[in-house]
Amino acid sequence: MARSQFYCPMHGKSIDEILQIFEAAMCENDYSKKLVKNEEIYCKGDGVLALMQCFSLVFRENAVVIEAWVNDAVLGESELKGFSGIFIKKKMRALAEKLSLLFSSSHLKEWTCPECCRENSPYSLSCACGYQKELS
């Protein structure tokens, strides 16, 4: 069992707030909640024809750890490294990095999409028009 881990300080955010951000991002990216071996995770793909892509959160004192991994029916869990499934892994890594920026950010605000001028929730990473929020 090997998972990639991304450690993020919460900077005073509550667990509820972190979960809201996480759920919004998972939903935007078509991940759905599943209970696998008594662990609540978000995943997509079936693990047979396509690699199953999984995320979960582990809370520590004042910090949250994002766990990300792919699951293959034959090989089991593997972290986001190596050449097999490299495009999927790169995408997941980018999503984990965005999440960790959101989790660590001390002031999240509503933002206006530069493409369509829609107001977006502080927790969303992309606009309904497809625009991806820039994070720095």
Residues that bind Zn ion (CB under 5 A): 113, 115-116, 118, 127, 129, 131
The radius of gyration of the chain from alpha carbons, rounded to an integer in Å, stands at 15
Give least dist CB 17 to Zn ion, A: 24
Beta strand 119-120 with 52-60 is unpaired
Which of 78/124 has CB closer to Zn ion?
124
Tell which residue, 23, 30, 3, has the closest CA to residue 99: 23
Which of 34/118 has CB closer to Zn ion?
118
Give least dist CB 25 to Zn ion, A: 17
Which of 88/108 has CB closer to Zn ion?
108
Give least dist CB 122 to Zn ion, A: 15
Give least dist CB 116 to Zn ion, A: 3
What 3-state DSSP class applies to 57? strand
What residues pair up with 43 in beta bridges, in sequence order?
32, 54
Which of 27/116 has CB closer to Zn ion?
116
What residues pair up with 126 in beta bridges, in sequence order?
132
Element (H, E) at 76: strand 76-78
